[in-house]
Amino acid sequence: MPLVFESRTLPNGLRVLTARQAEAQSTAVMVMLAAGSRYETAEAGGIAHFAEHIFFKGTERRPTARDLSFEVDSMGGEFNAFTGKEYTGYYIKCAREHASQALDVVSDMVLHSRFDADEIEREKGVIVEEMNMYRDTPTQYLPGVYDSLLYGDTPLGRDIIGTKETVRAATRQTFMDYLERSYAPSRMVVGLGGAVDDGLVAAVDATFGQVPDRPTSGYEPFADAGPTGPQVRIHHKESDQLHIRIGGGGLPIAHPDRYVASLLSTILGGGMSSRLFSEVRERRGLAYYVYASHSQYLDAGSLHTQAGVDVARVDEAVSTIVAELRRIAAEPVPAAELAKAKSYMKGRLVLGLEDPRSIIAFGLRSIVLEGEVREVPEVLAGIDAVTAEQIQRLAAELFATDRLRLAAIGPFDDEARFMQALAA
């Protein structure tokens, strides 16, 4: 695993990030952009995710989706994309001998996709069925319910996938307007990971480096209203299980206490020896899955827990989770538990960076969202520097009663019932 990334900026503003691994037998080619659902207008909600689909439908040189997929399959490559609220990525991972071809395919897609009107119309049905799938899968739909409660009617509070109305209303011009605002070289970073030679790096200059830059649009800043009292939102769905997400505030991605927040979520719900797993699942048998996570954006964040519990025991489940949030705010984390959490975080980081695709994605996400690469040793040192006092202080701030939020999906409508549990 390389501990040093090579970064440079081309004259048109496009950045190139390289993570070379001398012994690697594969290469990852990835393009990541500071472009996601947060950069959309409300009327074009979901267009960032929709565009990701259409980029796979053909270019002038490779006119159909089958032409693209056939070529990547012929390399034995992995071919995919992802859309978040603040970034979008496209990548191919392949054997090192196909690296130049992989770069040619990715650059052709990102720079020369046709956005055929007929393909757009056909894909609308696919997106709508994807929405239906998410709505029928509480573990996937619940984060959107929670975000709408936390961030309200803002780009951060709206679903990445959009609504059926905005998707059905999209035209080719909707896509062209979005791409004009967002897909400019100064918003892109091209990443090369694994087996990378100088010829591959030069090929980036010959393709992406020739695209003229242009002005782009920014995002709507999130204005946090601060403590407003506990809040609850329930999405009614007949089920034998209630899926709940409980949390407070969070920290932006570049906040000085970001490693404190990461360790706080790890102690609460990272791994099978975490507090929530031990208390909620192992000791009380209240849930099959339970975890904690810290979601971070450029100017906002959320540290939350999530679990799926028996509808007959929801009151005990909620009170147990809230009690654990309050306990970590009231009592310093014992030294042995803190050391274990640090080792867990560092181990998971190292395991997650074992292949070229994950390494380059780590570096790209850092440079797209923070403007610079966070080297792995810096992250490990940041984790090691966290103290028990810092964790207790941050927990008391984030989990104060007037900051608590609860979102749920299940066969309930009585929000007051859950409000009492948060305020108790």
Q: List the catalytic residues.
A: 52
Q: Which of 119, 30, 32 is nearest to 67 (CA)?
A: 119
Q: Which of 303, 320, 318 is nearest to 265 (CA)?
A: 303
Distance CA 322, CA 306 (A): 12
Extended strands (E) in 353-420: 405-410
Distance CA 179, CA 173 (A): 10
Between 172-182 and 47-54, two packed helices, what is the crossing angle to 10 degrees?
Answer: 100
DSSP for residue 240: S
Between 65-75 and 99-112, two packed helices, what is the crossing angle to 10 degrees?
Answer: 160
CB count within 10 Å of CB 418 equals 24
Question: Which two tokens mark 305?
Answer: 């827990």
- 190-223 in b/e burial notation, b at 16+ Cβ within 10 A? bbbbbbbeeebbebbbebbbebeeeebbebeebe
What element of type H or E holds 295? strand 287-296
